[in-house]
Amino acid sequence: MEKSPDDNNSGHGGMFLPLNAEQRKAHAAVLTEALRKLRQYPNIIGYTMDEPENLIWTYYKANYSDDWKKSGDASIAGKMVEWLNWVKPIIRAEHPEAQLMPIIAWWSTYMDVSDMYDVLVVNQYPAGKKGAPEFSAPWYEVSYDAAMAVAAARAHGKTVIYMPPMFNLMDADWPYGFCTLREQRYVNFAPVTRGAMGIHGWRLNRCSAEYRREVIYPAMKELSSLSDFFLGEWLDDQVRSNHDSASVDYLRKFRTRVRLIAGEEDGELSQEPTWCRM
């Protein structure tokens, strides 16, 4: 990718520009050299990129807004693959053991960019205003986001790591509050209940020592204590729920069903949560 120094609309010192063939060739040489060095380190398990939709959006909107009007987010997903996924065959050739683990920003693109990831990393950071009552933020978005990610990943034989918020040190003009201990438990556990196979919080260097001690570490330890349980035998077909349809207005804006288990028939009460037994 390139950035134009004449356009600061991206908020990162310039607007994203797709590479042409000549530029890709030059960048490929640099990437190849880097991968050959990085492969020597066993602690490097893969490579990521941060929210490519937001990176390319300014350029995409300026040049492909008609496509978006016709095809919606499937259009920008296609451009993400076209403009960014040229690195994949180089990584496969030079560091074949590595996992592709991009952080994909929009749940509407998870399905269409599956060729970009081995492990889909997703996040959603709902937040209430400072001083707002506990659980007044739309935390249900975390569960929905995780379900969308898991549905996309399972459809393509991939897996999901969820990245919940874990921070309380932000700029002075940050208008939102931060997770209480009970809210932190929710954002840690909700993705796992929807099928996420890992939790990777963002990010401890933005946590005060007190917040780590009182909120983050206790919630992390509770989740970690169930590792053996979550690695047990999956018994999805033995659990039923009678609360699968939306019961309040703020939930009705979401799709009524996200298929989590391949082969199950659609139905008002047919979505099964996950259960396991050691």
pLDDT of 278 reads 34
Interval 90-99: pLDDT, tens: 999 999 999 9
Q: What is each CA distance from 238 to 150, 192, 212, 273, in whole angstroms?
A: 20, 18, 38, 10
**10 HSE (CA, 13 A, CB side):** 22
Q: Are strands 159-162 and 119-122 parallel, antiparallel or unpaired?
A: parallel
Tell me what pLDDT residue 179 has. 96
Sequence-separated (6 or more) residues with CB below 8 Å from residue 58: 7, 9, 10, 15, 16
Residue 15 has what pLDDT? 81
Rounded to the nearest integer, the mean pLDDT of the chain is 85
Peptide bond before residue 185 is cis, with ω within 30 degrees of 0: no
For residue range 171-230, list pLDDT tens digits in order. 988 889 999 999 999 999 999 999 998 899 999 999 999 999 999 999 999 988 877 766
Q: Which of 2-6, 109-113, 172-176 has the lowest mean pLDDT?
A: 2-6
For residue range 43-57, list pLDDT tens digits in order: 999 999 999 999 999
Number of Cβ within 10 Å of residue 256's Cβ equals: 12
Residue 252's pLDDT is 67
| pLDDT recorded at residue 73 | 95
For 130-177, write each residue's pLDDT tens digit. 889 999 999 999 999 999 999 999 999 999 999 999 999 999 888 899
Whole-structure pTM over 0.95, yes or no? no
pLDDT of 241 reads: 60
Per-residue model confidence (pLDDT) at position 80: 97
> Which residue ranges make up each domain of the chain?
2-210
The letter for the amino acid at 14 is G
Helix/strand/coil for 2: strand
pLDDT value for 265: 47
pLDDT score recorded for residue 270: 39
Bridge partners of 36, per DSSP, are: none
Q: How confident is the model at residue 108 (pLDDT cuts 50, 70, 90)?
A: very high
The reported pLDDT for the residue numbered 178 is: 95
- Report pLDDT for 225: 81
Tell me what pLDDT residue 233 has.
59
Query: Three-state DSSP class for 100?
Result: strand
275 versus 48: which is more confidently predicted? 48
Mean of pLDDT values over 235-245: 60
Mean pLDDT computed over 23-41: 97
Write the CATH number of the domain with boundaries 2-210: 3.20.20.80
